[in-house]
Amino acid sequence: MPLTERLYEKSQASVNSAPPPTVSATVTPTPTVTPSISITPSVTPSVSITPTVTPSISVTPSVTPSTSVPTYYYVANIYGCTRDNANQPSCGQFIGQTTIANGAPGTGTFTVGKYYSGSANIVYQPIGISTSYSSPVIVANAVSFSNCALACSASLV
């Protein structure tokens, strides 16, 4: 090694004779405060009342059978009876409607849609049960016919 270099090292060794001090860091922890929340549940008691049910018994009225015959009233179309040129009975024109009853008064039934001969060249055709019960025409002849002309032949005799 050259001389200058040795001198330099020697001078450096005299300057650095003491070892460098050790630096150590001291950490002092700072305490942290974490708030805590405490929940206390609140219980409200509830009272349930069950009502007492007392059964009751009701008496259903008994039905007493009737000995009378039910009364039937009918709405009926009215047709007039005529004779044609050959003197044969024929069903005339529609006259209107009325309430009729079979028998004395209304003790029998009619067949809806059939034809029944009445008095004075009249034929009745029941078309339904009547809701009006005032002054029905009593039709005593309970023989039914399938068409108006046949009923007229019985009415024109």
The total number of structural domains in the chain stands at 1
Decide if 150 is inside a domain. yes
Parent domain of 85: 73-155
pLDDT digits (tens, 9 = 90+) for 104-119: 555 678 899 999 988 8
Full-model pTM: 0.53
Give the separation between CA 97 and CA 133, rounded to whole angstroms.
Answer: 14
Give the separation between CA 46 and CA 80, rounded to whole angstroms.
Answer: 84
pLDDT digits (tens, 9 = 90+) for 91-106: 888 999 999 888 755 5
Q: What is the pLDDT at residue 59?
A: 59
Rounded to an integer, what is the distance from CA 43 to the centroid of its chain? 44
Decide if 17 is inside a domain. no
Q: What is the pLDDT at residue 142?
A: 73
- Amino acid, res. 118: G
Decide if 10 is inside a domain. no
- Amino acid, res. 77: N
